[in-house]
Amino acid sequence: MNQRRNKRNKAKSLYIWHRYTGLFAALFVIFITVSGILLNHTDGLSLKNHHLNVDILLDQYQVQQPTSIRLFSSQGHPISQADDLLFINANKGLAVGGTLVGVAPLNDWLVIALNDRLLIVNSDFQLIETLGADDGVPDNIVKIGTDQTARVMLFSNRQPYHLTTDLSLRQTQQHADIRWSKAEPTSAALTAEIGHRYRANIITLEQFVLDIHSGRFFGNYGTLFFDIVGFILLFLSFTGIIIWFKQRTKQLDDK
């Protein structure tokens, strides 16, 4: 009698362990399956074009605040640069290699000057043209502004230039009546806002989903966690076989 009861209790205990570990494993499988489906539809979901902006998750990635922030404005439209990201009127960050030196209006457009190129932005603050050395833009641009006739003026290598309506550059005579674009100070609140915007443009959602799918998001703990889950799945396989075998044996005995 006692032996039967002990066997029954052991079988019941094994079934309980199998059930609860199975529940955990099922949640993990759902997690892996959903993240895998998201990765299979990266382009359709535009995961590459959207970024992670949750501070706690960005801290996990150790995304730091920018080391340098520059701010200019034209007609009330702010243009800022945080390290290598340029923000046009608070739009999504644009990766640039140069240094922001100023901004000037050109009819309904804006001309943003980096030290080595010009960016032409339309009234919707979308980049429509980039002018570089191949377009006659001089290197080492130090400032940009407008003269009394609203012409866009550049100063590079001790030589002034003006930007024509067909977006070509011509050397011109130096004169004093030019309103040069000047960097504006940033308050603590604005610095924090630009810093958050910068951090929220570093990690794409595609990278985030891939990292949690593979466990890399959790660092060394992620590898350990996946190892534990692997052992749990092995445990479920073995206990499932044992439970099936016991139930099968019991059915045969009852016959």
Per-residue pLDDT of the chain (255 residues; tens, 9 = 90+): 444 444 445 455 666 766 767 776 777 777 778 888 888 888 888 899 889 989 899 998 899 999 999 999 988 889 999 999 999 887 788 999 899 999 999 988 999 999 999 999 998 889 999 999 888 898 899 999 998 888 999 999 888 999 988 888 888 887 778 899 999 999 999 999 999 999 999 999 999 998 888 777 777 777 777 777 778 777 777 777 776 676 666 655 555
Cβ pair 39, 210 in contact under 8 A: yes
19 and 88 together in one domain: no
Contacts 24+ apart (CB under 8 A), 5-14: 11/243, 11/246, 14/239, 14/242, 14/243
186 and 212 together in one domain: no
Q: How many domains does the chain have?
A: 2
Does 139 fall in a domain? yes
Task: Point out which residues pair with 7 in neighbouring strands.
Answer: none
Phi, psi of 78 (to 5 degrees): -80, 140
172 and 95 together in one domain: yes
194 and 69 together in one domain: yes
Task: Tell me what pLDDT residue 63 has.
Answer: 92
Three-class SS state of 146? strand
Does 57 fall in a domain? no
Q: How far apart are CA 108 and CA 199, in angstroms?
A: 31
Domain-ending residue, one of 182, 199, 216: 199
Task: Tell me what pLDDT residue 255 has.
Answer: 56
Does 250 fall in a domain? yes
Alpha helices for 61-167 (secondary structure H): none
Beta strands in 21-126 (DSSP E): 69-74, 77-82, 85-88, 94-95, 100-106, 109-114, 118-121
Considering the entire predicted model, what is its pTM?
0.73
Three-class SS state of 54? coil
178 and 212 together in one domain: no
Does 55 fall in a domain? no
70 and 34 together in one domain: no
Q: How many residues does the structure list for the chain?
A: 255
Tokens describing residue 150: 């609203």
Distances (CA, A) of 95 to 18, 24, 62, 202, 231: 52, 42, 20, 10, 44
Task: Tell me what pLDDT residue 100 has.
Answer: 95
132 and 175 together in one domain: yes
74 and 174 together in one domain: yes
- In terms of residue numbers, what domain contains 111? 65-199
116 and 192 together in one domain: yes
Nearest to 115 by CA among 78, 84, 148: 84
43 and 159 together in one domain: no
Distances (CA, A) of 91 to 36, 76, 194, 240, 246: 30, 15, 11, 55, 64
Q: Residue 173 corresponds to which amino acid? A: Q
Beta strands in 109-227 (DSSP E): 109-114, 118-121, 127-131, 141-147, 152-156, 159-163, 169-171, 178-180
88 and 184 together in one domain: yes
Nearest to 178 by CA among 150, 147, 155, 152: 147
Please say whether the dihedral angle defined by the alpha carbons of residues 58, 61, 67 and 70, taken in this order, is positive or negative: negative
Task: Tell me what pLDDT residue 183 has.
Answer: 94
